[in-house]
Amino acid sequence: MTSQSQSGQSLLTRSRDVTIINIDARVNNNDNPVINYLKPGTYEVQFIGQSQGGMYDAWSRWNFVYECDKNGENCTTGWLNEYYIKSSEFIISVPTTGVYATSELALSKAKNTSFTLKFGSDISFYISDDLLADNQGGVSLAVKQKHIRQPPSLLGNLVLFGLLIASVALTWFILDP
């Protein structure tokens, strides 16, 4: 039985909570995902690299790069930017945008995603590969909850209405002794 890897770390950036998820391509597949609890809400997931605080730029399911075009793209083997996000509500496959000669090129071509949770739950992040021993690198993601301005609650409106009535009554009392 394998233990689950907790490769995520939390940090505070510009007054907004951002969780960095580091998926190790040699460890974190569907059988052993990185798991992080998230509360209900909408989340933006940004593919980040080492220069942005992640541990990885991209990952490879091979231990070599082979047959790339002159731009370092369309390789037969090379670097990828695909990963999966799974909860009790959904499974999101973020497919690779190609196979690249370098991890930096794969990072520059990566696509971001978002998701919404109706209920708080454990979220799994992983790559899809059964043979992990020959893999390299990993995926680093910045997960940030979008803060949506909520309309005032009924209780809040009642409190404001009560304050308004009290203000009118006080004014009436002061003006009409």
Q: What is the mean pLDDT of the chain?
A: 85
Question: pLDDT exceeding 90 applies to what percent of the chain?
Answer: 71
Query: Is the four-CA dihedral 116, 34, 30, 108 of positive or negative sign?
Result: positive
Considering its fold, how many domains does the chain have in total? Answer: 1
pLDDT band of 42, cuts 50, 70, 90: very high
Summarised one tens digit per residue, pLDDT across range 114-154 is 999 999 999 999 999 989 999 999 999 999 998 765 556 66
In-domain check, residue 96: yes
In-domain check, residue 167: no
Is the confidence at residue 95, as pLDDT, over 60? yes
In-domain check, residue 163: no
- 119: Cα separation from own chain's centroid: 16
Range of the domain at 99: 8-150
- What is the pTM assigned to this prediction? 0.75
In-domain check, residue 50: yes
In-domain check, residue 173: no
In-domain check, residue 159: no
In-domain check, residue 127: yes
> What CATH number does residue 29 fall under?
2.60.120
Q: Check residue 7 and give its pLDDT.
A: 45
Whether the CB-CB separation of 129 and 31 falls below 8 Å is answered with: no
Rounded Cα distance between 17 and 140, Å, is: 16
